[in-house]
């Protein structure tokens, strides 16, 4: 995978060339996954660069660390400025992905992580187009189950948690599918490795509730708001595996995936293998919003220049 990293990275309060942002191999996070990250997108609409729901991402960023008592050394405003300054310093005039993260630094081999554990914070960015084919992707129900809150908090975006996503992705790709769908510990639908999932049945939207170990995705929240605004019925509830195959339409939502249709699950075509009308409506609405073409949602955008 090409990784055209922008020239400068924001590291512990300073903008430095990428090769200057370094940590020792004894860094705690490398050994134990004690890192927290966010994934944010910014969209270039030929006039300006707009960061999507920046404040909401920063809020989740801070909250993720609280589950583990890992401290973020910077205020929300400082992180917000870091994101904006990073885009400006790199003169980014293309749609891009922005990755803020913080992690435990030199802390020996100690499991007893407290507020005293030293942390580093960084933000980098790179130009980013579509993650998936927007004409629809294939998915398989994974043999790997989503971890539950009884193992690690599902609402914390911790580096270590993503080993579960990596296993599910490896399994799906190895079987020739584009993406995995994970069931929760009880066998209900949870989410994809890095996306939430929505089903459409009889013109009603359904998404697994957060109690099915799904992340409280910011795109998921946006879809729920839009559904209400569009007067479409939307329900958050347990979703059985069987319902997936009986759905009229299915789509994924996520910062990286945006709105991506699923047109086949295992051997079963969804919506005759085509992008469904409701999915298309959400794809178009979302795309207009992020490009600042819908002023009803311009409060979701932070302008860079």
Ligand X SMILES: Cc1ncc(COP(=O)(O)O)c(C=O)c1O
Which residues form the interface with ligand X (CB under 6 A)?
39, 191, 194-196, 215, 217-220, 253-255
- Look at the chain and count its residues: 305
How far apart are alpha carbons 198 and 178 in whole angstroms?
Answer: 17
Which of 8/282 has CB closer to ligand X? 282
Which of 117/182 has CB closer to ligand X? 182
Task: Name the β-bridge partners of 181.
Answer: 141
How far apart are alpha carbons 238 and 210 in whole angstroms?
Answer: 9
Which of 117/290 has CB closer to ligand X? 290
Q: How far is the CB of 253 from ligand X (least distance, A)?
A: 6
Q: Are 289 and 230 in contact (CB under 8 A)?
A: no
How far apart are alpha carbons 51 and 96 in whole angstroms?
Answer: 9
Quick one: which of 94, 108, 120 has its CA closest to 37?
120
Which entry of 157, 233, 267, 268 is annotated as an active-site residue?
157
Residue 195 CB neighbour total at 10 angstroms: 28
Quick one: which of 94, 60, 81, 74 has its CA closest to 15?
81
91: annotated active-site residue: no
Which of 58/117 has CB closer to ligand X? 58
Q: How far is the CB of 181 from ligand X (least distance, A)?
A: 12
Q: How far is the CB of 217 from ligand X (least distance, A)?
A: 3
Q: How far is the CB of 37 from ligand X (least distance, A)?
A: 9
Closest chain position to ligand X (CB): 217
Q: Which residues are catalytic?
A: 157
């Amino acid at each position: 995978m090409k990784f055209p990293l922008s020239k400068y990275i924001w590291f512990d309060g300073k903008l430095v060339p990428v090769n200057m942002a370094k940590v020792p191999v004894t860094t705690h996070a490398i050994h134990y996954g004690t890192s927290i990250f966010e994934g944010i997108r910014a969209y270039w609409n030929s006039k300006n660069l707009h960061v999507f729901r920046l404040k909401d991402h920063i809020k989740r960023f801070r909250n993720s660390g609280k589950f583990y008592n890992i401290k973020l050394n910077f205020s929300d405003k400082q992180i917000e400025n870091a994101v904006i300054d990073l885009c400006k310093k790199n003169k980014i005039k293309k749609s891009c992905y922005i990755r803020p993260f913080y992690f435990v630094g030199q802390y020996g081999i100690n499991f007893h992580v407290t507020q005293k554990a030293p942390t580093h914070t960084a933000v980098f960015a790179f130009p980013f187009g579509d993650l998936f084919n927007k004409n629809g992707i294939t998915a398989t129900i994974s043999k790997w189950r989503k971890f539950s809150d009884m193992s690690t908090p599902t609402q914390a975006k911790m580096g270590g948690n993503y080993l579960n996503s990596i296993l599910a992705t490896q399994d799906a790709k190895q079987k020739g599918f584009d993406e995995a769908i994970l069931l929760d510990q009880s066998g209900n639908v949870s989410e994809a490795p890095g996306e939430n999932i929505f089903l459409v049945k009889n013109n009603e939207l359904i998404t697994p509730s957060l109690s099915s170990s799904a992340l409280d995705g910011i795109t998921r929240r946006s879809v729920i708001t839009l559904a209400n605004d569009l007067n479409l019925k939307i329900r958050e509830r347990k979703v059985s595996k069987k319902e997936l195959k009986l759905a009229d339409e299915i789509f994924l939502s996520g910062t990286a995936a945006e709105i991506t249709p699923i047109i086949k699950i295992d051997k079963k075509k969804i919506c005759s293998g085509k992008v469904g009308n409701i999915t298309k409506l959400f794809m178009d609405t979302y795309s207009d919003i992020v490009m600042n073409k819908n002023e009803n949602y311009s409060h979701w955008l932070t302008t860079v220049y």
